[in-house]
Structure 1
Amino acid sequence: MRAVVLVGGFGTRLRPLTLSIPKPMLPVGHRPIVENVIRMLAAAGIDEVVLGLGFKPEPFVEAFPDGVCAGIPLHYAVEPEPLDTAGAIRFAAEHAGINETFVVVNGDVLTDLNISALIAFHKDRGAQATMHLTPVDDPSAYGVAVIDDLGQVQRFVEKPAPGTAPSNLINAGTYVVEPSVLRRIATGRKVSIEREIFPLIVDDGGLYALATNDYWIDAGRPEPYLQANLDMIDAVRRSAFAPAIEAGAKVDPSAIVRHSLISAGALVEAGADIKDSVILAGAIIRQGAVVHGSIVMGEVGNGASITDTIVGATGSVVPGVTLVHALVPDPTLL
């Protein structure tokens, strides 16, 4: 079975990190998000992954020059223009010649879902499409489903107003889809699977959903992206783990590192204090700098202090300054 992984988004919510790298190529646990996704698919027996590409396809090709990731062959489907979720799925599937049941995954979703169980559920129900659902406290930012005892979706509401959601079970971004669904997706324009296609399938009685309590996180925003990394060292994942300090990171013995990830290629100088943070490849934390609750790709100067701050690859925090809830550089000024 093949899978389509949607990785064509712009990653605007993760700027300035995504000014230099596409969101799915940002590391979680020292591996690109997309590699984490593909490893999950490989565990379910997926034998080819189609990457639905749009924004900055070059980094994906450069990262996997032999066209293989986690032992799985890759097929690149580069959209000529943004086509939204359903349009991207149809374009990628047809580009790769998919003509049988396939899996679709949003490229910024990290989960311990048993994909094989989702596929089996889909086949058992004879569904046109099946989605994974997960419970959340506030479903207003997501697509919300109401299901019956057999898992048939009775209603699907995309991003309901706060307090109006019909349930707390949200679309978790992993689907099993029949090729017949592709014919329902118009070509030549943007088409949303959540707003246009799922409601059509609900009307036909062909949309099913499997709700689970498996680990799940949407790493497309700064707070959950940071959390997704910290989860990799906190042993909360069933299927993934990463060392706090990756081999190849240079950390001075006098630096204090607490509950943080530091990737190969990063430099942490003497007396630095790092807590609840992610220090990515190429980052430089200068002598005596304090980094708490932050994500750093660039440089934090001598004696500077940053809290809940994101420093992009071109960002530089000047020595001695104190920043809280800052973006460096500020994307709104670029």
Structure 2
Amino acid sequence: MDAIILVGGQGARLRPLTLTRHKSLIPIANRPALDHLLSWLSSFGIERAILAMGQSQEDLVRGYPEGSWGSITITHVVEHERLESGGAIRNAVRTAKPEGPFLVLNGDIYVDFDLQAALAAHHRTNARLTLALCPVIDPSPFGVAIVDSNSQITGFVEKPPPGTAASDLVNAGVWLFDPSLVQEIPPGAVRVEETLFPSLVGRRENVLGYCFEGLWADLGTPARYLELSQSLVKRSGAPLLGRAVQVAEDANIEGSAIGAGSSVAEGAHVTGSVLWEDVRVEAGARIKDSVLANGVTIGAGAVVSGAVIGQGANVTVGAQVQQGELLEPGEQRG
């Protein structure tokens, strides 16, 4: 079976992190996000990953060239204009020609559930479309699906106001398509979530909602990205340290992931944060609930709390970066 991975977006909501790195390459537990999706697909026997890419994504092309990636074959399909999810699926099918039912995944998710069980349910029920659905505590930022007692989807609500949702099941961005559906995607740059999916449900077609229990995250914002990292660190039971990370004996690292080549000097504290590669944290600095891109320097005694700092930025000695602040790549604070 083939899987189409939608990686054509620009990751605008993840800026400043995605100003210097494709959103599918941001590190999750010190591995690129796309690594996790490919490993997950591979573990369930998926044979080919079709990367539906936008233009000017050279870093993604270099990181995941066409050819073998473990047991999976990677194929590139490049969009020459913005196509949204519907156009991207149609373009990928026309170009790469998957045979039989195929998977579609959003490229900015982390997911870990039993895909084989979902595939079995799709075939057992003769569904034309199966959507993976994940229960969440607050569904208001997401598209919500309403299902009946037979797990058939009967309706959708997009981003319901807090406390009003008729369901806590959100569209997890993993879809199983019958190939006949492609010709029903409207022409042009359209989103299947807003066109094909509600049309099928409105016509009472067989659309299955496969509800799963497992770790899932939409990486669309720095806050969600940070929350996922904190969950993975908690699950590991210890901080996640990349290659050649140097941590002083009296430095304190809690609930954090620290990328290759980074250093944390004496007396520094790093709590609940993500540090990419080659980050330097000098003596006595304190970092909490923050994301620091590669090459960032945090000066001695500086304090960073609840911030997102772009590549190569410099927080000078004793400076402060406060909750909600974003520092652009190369910016200096202090």
Q: Normalized against structure 2, the TM-score is what?
A: 0.91
Aligned counterpart, 1:11: 11
Greater Cα shift, 160-169 or 109-118: 160-169
Aligned to 1:185: 185
- Give 5+ residue unaligned stretches, structure 1: none
Report the counterpart of residue 251 of structure 2 in structure 1.
255
The answer to whether the Cα contact below 8 Å between 1:305 and 1:322 also exists between their aligned partners in 2 is yes
Distance in 2 between residues matched to 1:66 and 1:43, nearest whole Å: 20
Q: Distance in 1 between matches of 2:167 and 2:90?
A: 29
Distance 1:157 1:70 in 2: 39
* More moved, 314-323 vs 289-298: 314-323
What SS does structure 2 have at the residue aligned with 1:144? strand
Letter of the aligned partner of 1:307 in structure 2? S
Q: Give the root-mean-square deviation of aligned CA atoms.
A: 2.0
Alignment partner, residue 83 of structure 2: 83
Q: Residue 30 and residue 242 in structure 1: after superposition, are their counterparts in 2 closer, same or farther (change >3 A)?
A: farther
Q: Distance in 2 between matches of 1:28 and 1:201?
A: 35
Alpha carbons 1:226, 1:277 under 8 Å: kept = yes
Equivalent position of 1:171 in the other structure = 171
- Alpha-carbon distance in structure 2 between the residues aligned to 1:330 and 1:252: 27
Query: Does the 8 A contact of 1:50 with 1:93 survive in 2?
Result: no
Give the counterpart letter for 2:88 in structure 1. A
Aligned: 1:109 with 2:105: no
TM-score (normalised: structure 1):
0.91
> 2:20, 2:194 → 1: CA distance?
31
* Cα offset, 1:124, TM superposition: 1.0
Q: 1:320 aligns with which of 318, 321, 324?
A: 318
Partner of 2:305: 307
Amino acid at match of 1:323: V
Q: Is 1:233 equivalent to 2:206 in the alignment?
A: no
Alignment CA distance shift 1:263-1:87 (3 Å)? same
Instruction: Give the AA of the match of 2:57.
Output: P
CA distance in 1, matches of 2:41, 2:89: 17
Displacement of 1:162 = 4.0
Amino acid at match of 1:280: W
Q: Does the 8 A contact of 1:249 with 1:266 survive in 2?
A: yes
Distance change >3 Å, CA 57–CA 69, structure 1 → 2 = farther
Question: How far off is 1:4 after superposition?
Answer: 0.7
How far apart are the structure 2 equivalents of 1:46 and 1:243? 31
TM superposition shift of 1:255: 2.1
Other structure's SS at 1:139 match: coil
Write the letter of the residue equivalent to 1:51: L
Amino acid at match of 2:64: F
Q: Which residue of 2 aligns with 1:42?
A: 42
| SS at 1:220 equivalent | coil
1:260: Cα distance to partner? 1.2
Q: Percent identity among equivalent residues?
A: 34
- Offset at 1:77? 1.1
**Farther off after superposition, 16-25 or 164-173:** 164-173
Query: Per-residue deviation at 1:201?
Result: 1.3
Q: Is the CA contact (8 Å cut-off) linking 1:6 and 1:51 kept in structure 2?
A: yes
Mean Cα displacement is larger for which, 126-135 or 206-215? 206-215
Which 4+ residue blocks in structure 1 deviate beyond 3 angstroms?
A: 65-71, 160-164
What secondary structure does 1:274 align onto?
strand
Q: How does 1:74-223 map to 2 (within 5 A)?
A: 74-187=74-187, 189-202=188-201, 203-223=203-223
Q: 1:35–1:70: 8 Å Cα contact kept in structure 2?
A: no
Q: Is the 8 A contact 1:250 1:264 kept in 2?
A: no
Contact 2:25 2:34 (8 Å CA) reproduced: yes
Conserved 8 A contact 2:259-2:277? yes
Q: Give the paired residue count.
A: 326
2:129–2:176 Cα contact (<8 Å) kept: yes
CA drift at 1:66: 6.0
Which residue pairs with 1:28 in the alignment? Answer: 28
Q: Distance in 1 between matches of 2:198 and 2:59?
A: 35
Q: Output the CA distance in 2 between the equivalents of 1:95 and 1:172.
A: 26
Cα deviation for residue 258 of structure 1 reads 1.7
Q: Distance in 1 between matches of 2:158 and 2:207?
A: 15
Instruction: Tell me the alpha carbon deviations over residues 297-325 of structure 1, each in whole angstroms, 9 at most, x when there is no partner.
Output: 22212221100111111322122111212
Aligned partners of 1:274 and 1:111: how far apart in 2? 27
